[in-house]
Each structure stands twice: as structure tokens, then as C-alpha cells.
Structure 1
Amino acid sequence: MSMDKQAIEHFLHGQIEAWNSGDKEAFFAHYRSVSPNGLTIEYVGKPQHDAWQILEGMWAQQQPKIRVEVRQCIVNGTEAACHHLNAFREGEGGIETIELYKFEGGKLAVRYFINM
């Protein structure tokens, strides 16, 4: 399963839309659709954990509080780099992230760099 730019952009935009609108089913469906052979998620600098548990935890803890605003998203080949503002739904400000996505052989590897 080779991912082209259109398929990658569909995933990237689709998961953000699902997150922002509170559609958990669609959010997880986007991740499943691009990772039939495996998903890894790494918070760079932190210990490795099960990717699906990370997504579940993110959804439960962050989704009600955070709205993702896409600052920049660049797709080159089968990789993408996204700069997001994780904006607080209530009040000002947010947390900046750089997110790297690598699509290869039905696997997705995600690396989050979080500006704390």
C-alpha cells in the first residue's frame, strides 16, 4: 500500500477535522486506514508506549480542551511535517508542536516534538 500525496493529505486534514469536531470514531478510523500494518507514536524525548493507548489518552485528556490549528503542513514523498498550534478551547494561547509523519508499507510512524 503506497501512499501518494493526496492520500496523505486526506489523512492529515481528516484527522484534524475529526479532532476539532469531536468525532472520535472518524479520528480513529483515519489512523486505522493508514496503518493496517502498524502504528508507532513517539513523544520525542519520552519513553515509548502503545500507540493506540496514546491516542486514547490524548482523546480523553486533550480533545475537550484543545483545538488544533494547522500553521504549516508539508508533504514530501511519503513523509509529512506539520506545525500545529494546539489552541486552548477556553482562553488564550496554546502549545506549539512539530509533528513528523512517515507512511511506509502500510505502517505509520509519528513523532511529536512539543514546545513546553
Structure 2
Amino acid sequence: MTSSSAVEAFMHKQVSCWNSGDRDGFFQAYSDIAPAGLHIEYVGGVSGDGIPILEGMWAQQRAAIEIEEVALIVIGDEAVAHNRNKVKGSDMVIETIEHYQFSDDGRVSVRYFIKKP
């Protein structure tokens, strides 16, 4: 089981790397926490292999979005984050609730609940 401290460190690192534009650090954080695979679901939308989804997210949104961590709760092998995704150069904000589940075999499953502005 992934420790709560490792999960918390990962959660903060991915946001820090996103905001600073550290692509290598961002993808390394996911590689380290999910060595056996990553599954991502946009609730009500796309679901599948997480790395290609992250690649698309990085390419399409990284330059335009800055993430503010509003709340993080880690209990056992699960984490829930409330993030405020600020669209740079505007007043627009996209609120997300993100659910992460970490399995003993090194797999991670992520579900993004996105409130459209």
C-alpha cells in the first residue's frame, strides 16, 4: 500500500510541476506513483490509458491553466482534491474534484469531476 505521506507528496508535486512548467517532473511524478499503470476518467466523458490523456492535457492546457490547491484529503489508499484551475489572463475558473485510488500493485485510477464555468 502506498503510504499517505507518499500520496500527499505526489499530489503536491504534480501541481507544483504543472504550475512551473516542469514537464519532466510532472510525468516522473506519475511514473513513480503508478509504475504498473494509470487510468484516467473525465466523469461523463473520456476514459482510458492515463499517460496519453495526460500528454493531451499537458499539450492543450498547461500554458493556459494555473492550478490552485484548495483542499486535499488523503485516507489510506485514496485521495480527494479540490483544485481551482485558473485560466491565465482572465477571471475564468474551472473547479475540479479529483479522486485518486492507489492500488497495492502499483496502479493508479483517477476520476476528474469538472464543474464547467
What TM-score, normalized to structure 2? 0.95
Where does the alignment leave 5 or more consecutive residues of structure 1 unmatched?
none
Task: Give the equivalent residue in structure 2 for 1:90.
Answer: 89
Write out per-residue CA displacement over residues 64-106 of structure 1, whole angstroms, 9 at most, x where no aligned residue. 0000001110001110000000001212131000000001121
1:48 corresponds to 2:52: no
Task: Give the equivalent residue in structure 1 for 2:111.
Answer: 111
Matched length: 115
Where does the alignment leave 5 or more consecutive residues of structure 2 unmatched?
none
CA distance in structure 2 between the aligned counterparts of 1:88 and 1:49, rounded to whole angstroms: 25
Query: What is the identity, as a one-letter code, of the residue corresponding to 1:21?
Result: S
TM-superposed deviation, 1:47: 3.5
CA distance in structure 2 between the aligned counterparts of 1:47 and 1:98, rounded to whole angstroms: 16
Alignment of 1:1-116 (within 5 A): 2-105=1-104, 106-116=106-116
CA distance in structure 2 between the aligned counterparts of 1:54 and 1:48, rounded to whole angstroms: 8
RMSD across aligned positions (CA) = 0.9
- Indicate the percent of aligned positions where both proteins have the same amino acid: 46
Structure 1 residues 20 and 47, CA, compared in 2 at 3 Å: closer, same or farther? closer
* Runs of 4+ displaced beyond 3 Å: none
